[in-house]
Amino acid sequence: MTSLVTKYPWPLPLLLLLLLPLKLQGDYWDYSEYELNPELRDYLRELYSTGPTKPPTKERIREKIIAEPERPFNGDDYCDNELKLKNIHNKLLCYPEHYFVSVPYEVLKNACHSRQVKCMNGTGFCRRSMNLMNGVQCTLVSGKRMPHCSYRSIFMTGYAVVTCQWDDDSKDFIPNNILEILVPK
């Protein structure tokens, strides 16, 4: 019986490479990543990861959805400034639409225990707030990647349609996202 080595005369360095043990991909470790500032490292990991997103928390909702109470809730550049300031994007891609509401967190949280409505895409169920809220709809006008996103700010008063998710820490439903603001006719 002949083997490939005896049948074909290969150069010695190539044969030695074939005899070396294979290094598994899982053994690869990038030590330079740990030389970074921990906050920057965590941000880069989240930016380039494909894993599950972080679960919603009270702080995340306050940061990403609730408008700053001390900031004037008007102006054509409100959405441009707020989305850049709050660093709202999807892996540096512009969101096509985003909503902010000007209410305390507890008022928005109450929407998770209110009336059930169909979501705007027609699948699943969302919750509609019981009270009217001041909000702003940020609609992408131009740009695809941060920081070149340009938004139109549409201020409105209406009922927020929210998605809610169970929070293990508080043992309660908390708002996850605002899908739209329904303006009463």
Domain boundary assignment for the chain? 56-182
Please tell me the distance from the alpha carbon of residue 50 to that of residue 25, in angstroms, as a whole number. 18
Which two tokens mark 180?
Answer: 């739209």
Q: What pLDDT band is residue 63 in, cutting at 50, 70 and 90?
A: confident
The answer, yes or no, to whether residue 181 has pLDDT greater than 70, is yes
Provide the pLDDT for residue 28: 47
Above 80 in pLDDT, residue 52? no
Side-chain half-sphere exposure of 131, counting CA atoms within 13 A: 13
pLDDT at 167: 82
Q: What are phi and psi of 36, to 5 degrees?
A: -80, 160
CA angle 80, 85, 87 (to 5 degrees): 95
Each residue of 125-174: pLDDT tens digit? 789 999 899 999 999 999 999 889 999 999 999 999 998 888 888 888 88
Phi, psi for residue 66 in degrees, rounded to 5:
-85, 130
Most confident of 33-42, 59-68, 127-136, 164-173: 127-136
pLDDT at residue number 166: 84
Calculate the CA dihedral of residues 48, 87, 128, 181 and round it to 10 degrees: -120
Compute the distance between CA of residue 148 and CA of residue 102 in angstroms, rounded to an integer. 26
CA 123 centroid distance within chain: 21
CATH code given to domain 56-182: 3.10.130.10
Is the pTM higher than 0.75?
no
Cross-strand bridge partners of residue 138: 98, 153
Tokens of 124: 């699943």
Q: Burial of 114 by CB count in 10 Å (0-12 exposed, 13-18 middle, 19+ buried)?
A: middle
Whether the pLDDT of residue 20 is over 70: the answer is no
pLDDT of residue 27: 46
125, β-bridge pairs: 118
Task: Say yes or no to pLDDT of 5 above 90.
Answer: no
70-113: pLDDT as tens digits: 788 888 899 999 998 888 888 889 999 999 999 998 899 999 99
How much is the pLDDT for 10? 60
* Burial environment of residue 42 by CB neighbours within 10 A (0 to 12, 13 to 18, 19 or more): exposed
123 pLDDT more than 70: no
Please report the pLDDT score of residue 176 as a whole number.
87
